[in-house]
Chains A and B, each alone.
Chain A
Amino acid sequence: MAKGRSIALVVAVAVVAVAAIVWGLAQGEAAVVYSKAARICLECIGIG
């Protein structure tokens, strides 16, 4: 893959990724991740 096309692909995917993150943040999805991550996940430690 030529250098120009490779970099263009990386930039394009990165832009899509950042857009998805921003959209998700606007929908309050970070709070969903937080609510799972800020409590002890009993299933994850093999007790749930």
Chain B
Amino acid sequence: MKVRTQRLIQVAAAAVMNGYAVGFAEGKIFTGPSKAVCVPVLNCYSCPGALGACPIGALQAAFGSTGRGVPFYVLGTLLLFGILLGRLACGLLCPFGLIQDLLHRIPSPKLRVPKKIDRPLRWLKYLVLAVMVVGLPLVVAAANGYAPPFFCEFLCPAGTLEAGLPLLALDPRLQAQIGWLFNWKLAVLVAIVVLAVFIHRPFCRYLCPLGGLWGLFNRFSLVQLKWTEATCVHCEKCARACPMVVDPTKTPASAECIRCTTCTSVCPTDSLHLRIHDRGRG
């Protein structure tokens, strides 16, 4: 798949998932029935254009309130997306991933994070998932009956960008309520935006709990990155081009691979393909 095709898919996905144009004009959010359906990406449900629900927000809301039992609907949805797509949604469908991709195209020196720093930092997203999305909401809700959405409230830059800034721009009543929390979230967003210019997809790589979750499915998901050893000339163009610093000839099913197809587009011998689950390495 060519990069241009990837971009077109990303833009189309972002437009479809945030297609409620009236919301952007009037500072309202969509309230139709599709809001009960989780989308496969981190797309804030308070974004004025959002037509669906953010799965991480929905999961936190379910864990953050007592008396509701196991959230089968949200967990089932996550399981279904995960086993079908793995991290394909990160590479091709996520609007915040698209924004980071575009930021990285700004001409500047590009940084390769040293492995000694990169490897441990990649575990952060699992920590965020375990602590902010699951652990804290469960513990605090058990004690107080309700827990705030810790990830959304304190960390998620997608919510600040897609929901916070547009709604604040359109609603003066909300502007009057800006405090330290918004300033903190804005600082997180600015940090991610600046980092994304120099490092490819820093949020996806190190912090996104949904990307971490989808990555766990990469080895088993229906959609797989297939490497054909027989035709590979071991030029390593794919490994050098990979924005997530994965060598697809060694670990095509790596939890870090976002299935963005950059490697397939640079391969001179057509040895890498996105395929439905097939026999192969990984």
A residues sitting closer than 8 Å to B (CB atoms) are 2-3, 6-7, 9-10, 13-14, 16-25, 27, 29-34, 36-48
* Docked-complex contact B181 and A37, CB < 8 angstroms: no
**B151-178 Cβ-contact flags toward A at 8 Å (1 or 0):** 0110010011001100110000010011
Q: Give Cα A38–Cα B46 distance, bound, in whole angstroms.
A: 8
Q: Give Cα A31–Cα B58 distance, bound, in whole angstroms.
A: 11
**B45-88 Cβ-contact flags toward A at 8 Å (1 or 0):** 11000101110011001100000110111111101100110000
Q: Give Cα A47–Cα B45 distance, bound, in whole angstroms.
A: 15
Binds A, one of B3-11, B32-40, B237-245: B32-40
* Docked-complex contact A10 and B149, CB < 8 angstroms: no
* Docked-complex contact A19 and B76, CB < 8 angstroms: yes
* Docked-complex contact B83 and A41, CB < 8 angstroms: no
* Docked-complex contact B79 and A37, CB < 8 angstroms: no
The smallest beta-carbon distance between A7 and chain B, in angstroms, is 6
Instruction: State whether the Cβ of B29 lies closer than 8 Å to any Cβ in chain A.
Output: yes
Residues of A within 8 A of B84 (CB): 10, 14
Q: With A36-B53, A36-B57 in contact, do A46 and B73 touch (Cβ < 8 Å)?
A: no
* Docked-complex contact A21 and B71, CB < 8 angstroms: no
Q: Give Cα A13–Cα B85 distance, bound, in whole angstroms.
A: 13
* Docked-complex contact B62 and A37, CB < 8 angstroms: no
The smallest beta-carbon distance between B135 and chain A, in angstroms, is 18
* Docked-complex contact B72 and A23, CB < 8 angstroms: yes
* Docked-complex contact A44 and B46, CB < 8 angstroms: yes
Of chain A, the residue at the smallest CB distance from B156 is A44
* Docked-complex contact B36 and A31, CB < 8 angstroms: yes
* Docked-complex contact A40 and B167, CB < 8 angstroms: yes
Cross-chain contact of A46 among B31, B76, B164, B277 (Cβ < 8 A): B164
Residues of A within 8 A of B152 (CB): 41, 43-44
Q: Give Cα A27–Cα B49 distance, bound, in whole angstroms.
A: 28
Residues of B within 8 A of A34 (CB): 33, 35-36, 53
Q: Give Cα A33–Cα B68 distance, bound, in whole angstroms.
A: 12
Q: Give Cα A7–Cα B222 distance, bound, in whole angstroms.
A: 7
Q: Give Cα A23–Cα B70 distance, bound, in whole angstroms.
A: 11
The smallest beta-carbon distance between B147 and chain A, in angstroms, is 11
Residues of B within 8 A of A19 (CB): 76
Binds A, one of B182-190, B207-215, B227-235, B266-274: B182-190
Residues of A within 8 A of B222 (CB): 10
* Docked-complex contact A48 and B148, CB < 8 angstroms: yes
Could you jot down 10 A-B contacts, CB within 8 Å? A2-B279, A10-B221, A21-B80, A23-B72, A24-B75, A29-B71, A33-B36, A37-B53, A41-B57, A45-B174
